[in-house]
Copies of this chain bind each other. A is one copy, B any other.
Amino acid sequence: MMLSKTSEYALRSLMYLALQATKEHKVGIKEISQELDLPMHFTGKILQDLVRKGLVASLKGPNGGFFLNHPASTITIMDVIKVVDGGEAFKRCGLGMNKCSDTHPCPLHEDFKVFRDGLARVFNQKTIHDLVQEVGTGHAFIKNLVEVS
């Protein structure tokens, strides 16, 4: 609702890379998509884009794959969102009005601003490193739970 699926996939893939990949041990699309339960080709597309934008590096061929181009502690959530969705999402009016500001507010402006800006602040501060730390300690998860039939 807040982030596009593309952003969600990008963030989870980056977390997976932060956890599993190094320049020496790269990780391929197949592994990422299988482990995170993501559509393979689409994930490939997204990773390609992240390479172009410089967040991720890649190498072709055997033992090829993806790995983070910079330390995970230097990549904020907002960096990723901006690269993938563009930076406008957190500026929009809650009611979609063309001009909505403190001086010409929509009736939802004040309430909405609090949450939108609060979330933006979190996204600007938290890095991929912060996120995976919780995964490392077992306090959080990035893999989907499998449905049992």
**Which residues of B lie under 8 Å from residue A139 when comparing CB positions?**
105
What is the oligomeric copy number?
2
Instruction: Tell me the complex Cα distance, A78–B145, Å.
Output: 30
**Which residues of B lie under 8 Å from residue A142 when comparing CB positions?**
95, 97, 106-107
Is A60 interfacial (CB 8 A cutoff)? no
Given A95-B8, A95-B12: A145 and B90 within 8 A (CB)?
no
Is A15 interfacial (CB 8 A cutoff)? yes
Interface residues of A (CB under 8 A from B): 1-3, 5, 8-9, 11-12, 15, 37, 77, 89-90, 92, 94-99, 104-109, 111-112, 114-116, 118-119, 122, 126, 130-132, 134-135, 139-142, 144-145, 147
